[in-house]
Structure 1
Amino acid sequence: MCMVQDGGKVLLINRPDKRGFPGYIAPGGKVDFPESIVDGAIREVREETGLTVTDLVYKGLDEFCEPDQGLRYMVFNYLATSFEGELLINPPEGELLWVDIEQALQLPMQDWFKERFPLFFEPGTFERSFVWKEKGDETVGQTIRHYPAGSALSLDKT
């Protein structure tokens, strides 16, 4: 996932129900083998918005594990503050909208994205790991850490 920021605004996609994860969300998607994770983020932003992002900053990791299925889903989060190009006229994932950062959380969006959104703009990086049981749709464990800029990793839970 790559949040594209232009001053006090961010570019969000209003995904329709038929695309899954409806509501406003930052661009992102799957990494194609053998591209790097950051190259995948750059490609996904270009495919979904028409913009080519540069100066990406790694912001953190979201991990979702489903132990009954042996499933692990990882989201690498980036913030891009430089870009070139023009927005697509007919974007494939949904309507594109520049939104004031301060007003973005008032838009309809998935809870997991709403929780993650402010972390893109805080100094340092984050790690969010969730163990989730599909049967019963419940979170059975979680680890959430924030690493201030320039700090060493600490094993204390926050």
Structure 2
Amino acid sequence: MTNKMECMIYTMCLVHCENKVLLINRPSSRGFPGFLGPGGKVDMTESITEGAVRELREETGLIVKPEDLVYKGIDEYVVPKTNFRYMVFNYAATKFEGELLANPPEGELLWVNIKEALELPMQPWFKHRFPLFIEPGTFEISVVWDEDNQVAFEDKLYRLG
């Protein structure tokens, strides 16, 4: 096995206000269809926090200051066979400015009642992670993926702080 590892870094930021959370209803044509939070790949020259702020603005039109983000945790997917690690840094925000985009690039934007959100069609990985954005504290999710059988052979969740 080689020591070289490929790593992709992403962010996700859930904005919630009162009893609602902002979700994207992502169409099948964009991949990962269903309701999920705004986020995406961190560019090479930006910090992870800057990436979260930029992705939120690009996908929703909302502006969040870095100091108003609350770090919620990390989830990572490791594929030993290919030495690949996919890391998502997760944030929440309750303070924001701006208005929602009229034609968002990733799918329809909807304010959804937090208590009803899990009834919506979601990717299993997002459904598993969603409550962790709302609960106090931080989390770490670590999944080790068996590429041959397309199944997780380790799936750990740590609730921190």
TM-score w.r.t. structure 2 length? 0.90
Distance 1:49 1:7 in 2: 18
Structure 1: gaps of 5 or more residues: 149-158
Structure 1 residue ranges, 4+ long, deviating more than 6 angstroms after superposition: none
Q: CA RMSD in A?
A: 0.7
SS at match of 1:68: helix
Structure 2: gaps of 5 or more residues: 1-11
Structure 1 segment 1-150 matched on structure 2, within 5 A: 1-54=12-65, 55-148=68-161
Aligned residue pairs, count: 148
SS at match of 1:11: strand
TM-score w.r.t. structure 1 length? 0.92
Distance 1:99 1:134 in 2: 35
How far apart are residue 142 of structure 1 and its match?
2.4
How far apart are residue 4 of structure 1 and its match?
0.6
Distance 1:51 1:147 in 2: 28
Query: In terms of mean alpha carbon deviation, does 86-95 or 131-140 score higher?
Result: 131-140
Distance 1:115 1:89 in 2: 29
